[in-house]
Amino acid sequence: MRLGLVIDLDTCVGCHACAVACKEWNTSGTTGALTDYQPYGAKPSGVWFNRIRHYEIGDYPHNKTINFPMSCMHCENAECVTVCPTGASYKRAEDGIVLVDQSKCMGCNYCSWACPYGARELDRASGTMKKCTLCIDRIYDMEIPEEERQPACVLTCPAHARMFGDFDDPESPVSRAVRERGGYQLMPELNYNPSNHYLPPRVHAPIDTERMRQKGLRAVKDWIHRAVER
């Protein structure tokens, strides 16, 4: 089994609900509190598992904002695990989830430097590295209704831009979505084989804004002419 996320860049609206839900759940989860620094100061910051980047593509008037959520990719060949000198970073054989043993981590930052996705953050309060756990304490909790045994970010996404599932199952919803929508991994040339995939924005025919503007102007003129005639 290889668990991971599919994120649809066509429907993600960049609302940050996934990041907030992640922070709320994992602050009370098994990884311990995700520290906030100066939460009520001029420059509040803190430890987050999810961060959403924003990019602008294309030229006006055919430009588009892409909201790009990023977290741990749970790579098959996780270099963050390879470089860890204490064995704190490890990959679970049973589901492919990469975790950090907080009792072994000494905060040396090697894993952070090895991760090309910027998925790891040093918690300065605890001196240990923190990262996405795919809400492992939630997805295996038999006390939670089965339909809710998903990462908090998936459950809370108002645009349904996130999916969670097993990529080793070719008929799972995540595998089908990747196959049918041309899903892709980030930086495949590194051969880390990340589990998380992204669905590209759909290609839409460009809107002829100039023609619409002229049409709109003509409609206003026509209305004025009719009004004057009356």
What is 99-132 written as a DSSP string?
A: EE-TTT-----HHHHH-TT---EEETTTTEEE--
Measure the CA–CA gap between 57 and 63, rounded to whole angstroms. 5
Q: Which pLDDT tens digit goes with each residue over 6-34? A: 999 999 999 999 999 999 999 876 666 78
Q: Which pLDDT tens digit goes with each residue over 67-88? A: 999 999 999 999 999 999 999 9
The CATH code of the domain at 3-229 is 3.30.70.20
Which pLDDT belongs to residue 206? 66
Which pLDDT belongs to residue 211? 67
Q: Which residues contact 63 (CB under 8 A, 6 or more apart)?
A: 56, 57
In this prediction, residues 180-196 reach a mean pLDDT of: 97
Distances in Å between the Cα of 20 and the Cα atoms of 1, 16, 103 are: 28, 6, 26
Cross-strand partners of 3: 166
Measure the CA–CA gap between 91 and 97, rounded to whole angstroms. 6
Which pLDDT belongs to residue 31? 67
pLDDT at residue 215 is higher than 70: no
The pLDDT confidence band at residue 59, using thresholds 50, 70 and 90, is confident
Which pLDDT belongs to residue 39? 86
Which pLDDT belongs to residue 202? 83
Domains in the chain: boundaries: 3-229
Which pLDDT belongs to residue 212? 64
Cross-strand partners of 51: 70
